[in-house]
Structure 1
Amino acid sequence: MTGRARRAAGGARLAWAAAGLGLMLTAAACGTTSGANSVAAQARAGDRKGYVSGDGSVERIDRADRGRPLTVAGPTVDGRTWSLQEHPGQVVVLNVWGSWCPPCITETPELDKAYRTLTGRFKDVAFIGLDTKESPESAMAFIRANRVPYPSLAYDGGQRMISLDGKAPATPTTLVLDRQHRIAARVLGPLTASTLVGLVEDVRAA
């Protein structure tokens, strides 16, 4: 092999190595959409754990790319009613949860901390839970035991989940709605109070 041929072969090997590294980095950055722990993989697994969990990944949506305003309303687990229309001009945090879901239990104190921080600072922020796959009685028992300070809509068989435009494939999922009640940010999986407070502050300021 000539010196020129050896140099060409070496360059090709370096190019393939760089391409392989790029693919590895891309896969690592897309943990919620690929791999054994992705939402899609968990949905296919059939392991009967009862829920699909996210990894806490955060998505922010630019104003120009936000979809239609949501329309979410209905009876709460304590027998009252709640509607987004009752909160015009407010930033709304919507948390999809269930008392049967271990990551939901884990994040409950963080949601409580974020609620108290945000509603203590701002009058234009509201929270609503969207309970799923359980009876109002089971949900209410959890809410009372954990002193959850904001209301939750009762499970309706999944119709409200459809109204979220496919943005809540995992339990828990937290959506931050802007003042027009469009989805502006999402946390897929359990969150921390600091993450949620930061997202809400960003949406308020935009």
Structure 2
Amino acid sequence: MSGRAQRARHRARWAWAVSTVVLVLTAAACGTTSGSNSVAAQARSGDRKGYVSGDGSVERIDPANRGTPLTVAGPTVDSRIWSLQDHPGQVVVLNVWGSWCPPCITETPELDKAYRNLTSRFKDVSFIGLDTKESPESALAFIRANRVPYLSLAYDGGERMLSLNGKAPATPTTLILDRQHRIAARVLGPLTASTLEGLVEDVRAA
């Protein structure tokens, strides 16, 4: 083999080696970058979108283990005043949500369907939303755009969330309160209308 051919082969091998190293370093950078969208950062935070969402798991609580009644009250996103005390003897569906939360958006039509079905059949069932981590203006814009038929309490920095006794660790969370306003059932994550209607019917019948 001539000297010119050997030098050409050497240059080709060198170029291949350099390109391989560049590809490896690039792949490593994509996998280990310290930015908020990296896989490592997502794993450390426990989520991918700045929120923790449940998997739709359902919990039913026996009457003997339901604890004390909740006391939830305050201004709504449209500047009204709402209180559980104004709904004595009613089964109340309380949905924790945010317009920034994709699973909340997904379940909105299901909540709307359940609301219309249940409240048309039963006069002792009420719904209330509990907006979280956004301004009343953002929440109200979403409610109006999606024609949500029930009120939502405005975000107050988290004080009302504390009144839920740690039962709403995910967004969305739906709590079904019995006639004494104790937590009787819970869905962590997005739900379907049929699931919610079945839970409410069970709580009413208990």
Where on the TM-score scale, by shorter chain, does this alignment land: which range?
0.7 to 0.9
Letter in 2 for 1:151: L
| Matched-pair contact (CA < 8 Å) for 1:43–1:52 | no
Question: Is the radius of gyration larger for structure 1 or structure 2?
Answer: 2
Match of 1:171 in 2: 171
| Matched-pair contact (CA < 8 Å) for 2:53–2:103 | yes
Identity percentage of aligned residues: 90
Any unmatched runs of 5+ in structure 1?
A: 1-41
Distance 2:184 2:77 in 1: 26
Match of 1:119 in 2: 119
Match of 1:64 in 2: 64
Specify the SS of the correspondent of 1:170: coil
Structure 1: which 4+ aligned runs deviate by more than 3 Å? none
Aligned 1:5-20 pairs, distance under 5 A: none
The 3 A distance-change label for structure 1 pair 43 and 177 is farther
Shift in Å, 1:45: 2.5
The 3 A distance-change label for structure 1 pair 186 and 112 is same
Total equivalences in the alignment: 165
Q: Deviations over 1:108-148 (max 9, x none)?
A: 00000000000000000000000000000000000000000
User: What's the RMSD between the two structures over aligned residues?
Assistant: 1.3
Distance 1:47 1:171 in 2: 12
Q: TM-score scaled to structure 1, two decimals?
A: 0.78
Distance 2:189 2:78 in 1: 25
Match of 2:10 in 1: none
Distance 1:94 1:79 in 2: 18
Any unmatched runs of 5+ in structure 2?
A: 1-41
Q: Deviations over 1:162-198 (max 9, x none)?
A: 1101100000000000000000000000000000000
Match of 2:39 in 1: none
| Matched-pair contact (CA < 8 Å) for 2:46–2:52 | no
Letter in 2 for 1:65: N
